Amino acid sequence: MIKIPNKTLRLITFDVTNTLIKVKHDIGTEYAKVANIYGISGIADNPERIQRLTESFRLNFRKYNKELPNYGYNRNMTSVQWWQQLVISTFTDAGLIVDNSNLKKIENTSAHLFKLYSRGSQWELKHGVHDLLSELHKQRPNLNVSILSNFDERLESVLRDLGLTHYFNQIFISRQLGFAKPDHKAFLTILDKLKIKNPKLEYLHVGDSVELDYDPVVNDPIDGNSLIIGNSTKLNTDSKFVVRDLIQLKTILELE
């Protein structure tokens, strides 16, 4: 396991999705349920179509993050517009013919889903979150504990509903920064703002993606520290910087 400079750390940033919280229900099930409200039937009661919807969402989410990163920030899109396009593509690629007869229904579905996922009820905490953050708050009162997430403007309401906001000094989201991970500028903007001069000794980022949360932090020009929450076998990567869960992270941070 990589040695973390606990005694000299001044800043820890956490990714959010699949690091601290995760979606509570199957995406396809929720999308189908909401679509049914607006008159798009034949999906919510069909397990095979629900599975196709879930798979379509995953593929399109990756596609849109690559083609229109940061919720279309550089294309002057709003996050609402970005999600609407994603929802339309998700249903289309799952086999629904979207045309003038049902486009409005899909748009209403998208608007409903956007509001739905701004609530804590659609999310759940990863095991050990409150224990880790409360001990950081208690044992390291001078340590800046913040969020750095590729999320949109709904994040604060989600964290508030889940009772997490009071643990963090700042909440940085990619839409507000103008840069999304793995862009170094997302990290550098925060380090500059918080006057972190020596990331190797003063900075740790914790996330769940090698590409987004590890590589940009440990390499030039940042040269900081990063730990990834997950399974090294599933991640297909070196286990020395992979932490099993937040309970193990608490031990690594010497919060016993």
What value does the mean pLDDT take over residues 199-203?
Answer: 98
**CB neighbourhood size of 184 (10 A):** 16
How many percent of the chain have pLDDT more than 70?
97
- Separation of alpha carbons 60 and 151, rounded Å: 16
pLDDT given at position 239: 75
What value does the mean pLDDT take over residues 113-140?
Answer: 97
What value does the mean pLDDT take over residues 188-214?
Answer: 97
- The Cα-based distances of 153 to 78, 132, 177 in angstroms read 10, 25, 11
Whats the size of the chain, residue-wise?
Answer: 256
How many percent of the chain have pLDDT more than 90?
92
pLDDT given at position 174: 97
pLDDT, tens digit, 9 for 90 and up, residues 39-86:
999 999 999 999 999 999 999 999 999 999 999 999 999 999 999 999
Distance from the Cα of residue 219 to its chain's centroid: 21
Compute the mean pLDDT over every residue in the chain, rounded to the nearest whole number. 95
- The Cα-based distances of 40 to 35, 44, 84, 111, 116 in angstroms read 5, 9, 16, 15, 18
- The Cα-based distances of 236 to 55, 205, 210, 211 in angstroms read 21, 20, 10, 12
pLDDT, tens digit, 9 for 90 and up, residues 203-245:
999 999 999 999 999 999 999 999 999 876 666 666 789 999 9
- Separation of alpha carbons 233 and 242, rounded Å: 10
pLDDT given at position 69: 97
For the chain, domains (ranges, CATH) are 11-20+126-252 (3.40.50.1000), 24-121 (1.10.150.720)
